[in-house]
């Protein structure tokens, strides 16, 4: 047998052995492998890190991953949140901890208190554990819409996504991803009451409460339409039509759907309240009803005007004509992708989530380099990408390109290098 054939034979034998492992071992092993690759990229980038605001050049791994927003989470863990918003001499609110939601640093405080570990290491450990948990839940979620192999590839796409290294950093993304995936899994399984506490915790981890509440509101309207359509189909004397040709609605289906609607309505209310929870907490502590929004807009450098930052960025990148058209083209391309067959296979709930989250980004986000990181909650689209083709060559190429783009993200955005005008692009 030639060497290439021998390699293929060994690979096939290894694949057959791995395929017999439990699903959670397969998912966990692939996720840990992806994080080890990312760790190697971080360590290689750290060797080239020059002088920076945090530590000497060529830092070790743990120092290198505890920069940027990780420092803010560490500040919250140690000192909590300010009772009064810090301002400059002109009365303008300055950067402060209220921009960073409380669940992640509070978990770090609990674990650090119980174990005596250093806060920075505690937050990193929690982030890595939550990332692994998120991968397991995402696989379970994907299995509701695809067979094992495709769901596994979709999970691998999430684990190797260009910004996936953030899942092993002391950032709240991994915790939020775990809670978001769990909430979506419970919604798909129609266990709405169980989803309520998960959604509340999710709303205290990162600002995903508003789009989730919007998704739940639209899903409630859709389920109401289905309910009344089914009720009409079971009404006495109803003539057969497109909705009920081929058989009657099963007995008891309409009352059961009615009970589910009440649970769904309750989850919608809880989601809406959860979306307002963190701004209300900031108001209660500081006495300023706009404490959270004032803090968030500090990083923008201007007040929040919905949609406008996308046009401003478009003009900056593409000029006064194409720049105005760019956001419309982007929205059209996203709408087209949501109508493609692989994405339609995700089902109503996951497509609604992706649409609502993208709408939230378009309305409130100031597009910048941090935008790449904020695309992570669109993770259901990874399953759509896996459904495009069952070809191992295609799927393997996607993973390879994602890993190469991880190098770009870490070297370009995570590693600090001063810009000519000062500062650096944030990751």
Residue 210 included in any domain: yes
Q: What tokens appear for 349 in the block?
A: 């709930």
Closest CA to 182 of 105, 130, 146: 130
* Cross-strand partners of 85: none
Q: Spell out the per-residue pLDDT of the chain, length 427, in tens.
A: 666 566 566 556 656 667 788 999 999 999 999 999 999 999 999 999 998 889 899 999 999 999 999 999 999 999 999 999 999 888 889 999 999 999 999 999 999 999 988 888 999 999 999 999 999 999 999 999 999 999 999 999 999 999 999 999 999 999 999 999 999 999 999 999 999 999 999 999 999 999 999 999 999 999 999 888 877 777 665 544 444 433 444 545 556 777 889 999 999 999 999 999 999 999 999 999 999 999 998 887 777 788 999 999 999 999 999 999 999 999 999 999 999 999 999 999 999 999 999 999 999 998 999 999 999 999 999 999 999 999 999 999 999 999 999 999 999 999 998 887 777 889 9
Q: Is residue 348 part of a domain?
A: yes
Stated pTM of the model = 0.93
Per-residue pLDDT, 257: 72
Q: Is residue 377 part of a domain?
A: yes
What's the full length of the chain, in residues? 427
Cβ–Cβ < 8 Å for 311, 323: yes
Nearest alpha-carbon partner for 100 in 71, 137, 138: 71
CB 61 within 8 A of CB 39: yes
DSSP string, 225-241: HHHHHHHHHTSTTPPP-
Q: 423 lies in a domain?
A: no
Counting the structural domains of the chain, the total is 1
Containing structural domain, residue 278:
21-232+254-414
CA distance 19 to 21: 6
Determine, yes or no, domain membership for 419. Answer: no
Neighbours of 63 (CB within 10 A): 15
Is 2 part of a structural domain of the chain? no
Inside any domain, residue 387: yes
Question: Per the domain annotation, does 13 fall within a domain?
Answer: no
Read out DSSP for 137-151? HHHHHHHTTS-HHHH
**Other Cβ atoms within 10 Å of 414 Cβ, number:** 23
């Amino acid at each position: 047998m030639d060497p290439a054939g021998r390699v293929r034979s060994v690979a096939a034998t290894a694949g057959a052995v791995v395929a017999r492992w439990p699903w959670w071992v397969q998912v966990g092993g692939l996720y840990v492998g992806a994080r080890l690759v990312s760790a190697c990229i971080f360590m290689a980038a750290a060797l080239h890190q020059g002088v920076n605001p945090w530590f000497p050049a060529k830092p070790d791994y743990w120092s290198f991953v505890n920069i940027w927003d990780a420092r803010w989470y560490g500040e919250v863990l140690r000192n909590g949140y300010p009772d009064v918003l810090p301002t400059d001499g002109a009365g303008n609110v300055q950067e402060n901890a209220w921009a960073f939601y409380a669940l992640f640093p509070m978990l770090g405080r609990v674990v650090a208190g119980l174990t005596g570990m250093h806060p920075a290491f505690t937050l990193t450990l929690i982030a890595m554990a939550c990332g692994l948990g998120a991968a397991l839940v995402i696989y379970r979620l994907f299995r509701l819409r695809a067979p094992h192999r495709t769901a596994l590839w979709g999970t691998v796409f999430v684990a190797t996504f260009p910004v996936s290294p953030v899942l092993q950093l002391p950032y709240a993304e991994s915790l939020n991803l775990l809670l978001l995936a769990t909430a979506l899994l419970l919604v798909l399984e129609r266990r709405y009451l169980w989803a309520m506490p998960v959604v509340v915790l999710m709303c205290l981890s990162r600002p995903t409460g508003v789009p989730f509440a919007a998704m739940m509101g639209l899903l409630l309207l859709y389920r109401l339409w289905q309910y009344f359509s089914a009720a009409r189909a079971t009404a006495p004397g109803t003539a057969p039509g497109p909705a009920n040709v081929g058989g009657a609605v099963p007995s008891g289906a309409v009352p059961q759907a009615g009970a589910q609607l009440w649970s769904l309505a309750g989850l919608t209310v809880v989601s809406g309240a959860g979306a307002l929870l963190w701004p209300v907490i900031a108001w209660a502590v500081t006495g300023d009803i706009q404490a959270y929004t004032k803090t968030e807009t500090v990083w923008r450098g201007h007040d929040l005007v919905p949609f406008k930052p996308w046009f401003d960025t478009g003009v900056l990148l593409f000029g006064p004509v194409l720049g105005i058209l760019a956001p419309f083209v982007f929205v059209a391309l996203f709408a087209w992708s949501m109508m493609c067959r692989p994405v339609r296979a995700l089902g109503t709930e996951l497509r609604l989530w992706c649409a609502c989250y993208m709408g939230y980004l378009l309305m409130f986000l100031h597009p910048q380099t941090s935008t790449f990181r904020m695309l992570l909650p669109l993770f259901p689209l990874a399953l759509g990408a896996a459904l495009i083709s069952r070809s191992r060559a295609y799927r393997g190429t996607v993973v390879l390109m994602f890993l190469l783009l991880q190098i770009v993200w870490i070297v370009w955005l995570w590693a600090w290098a001063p810009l000519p005008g000062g500062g650096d692009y944030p990751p």
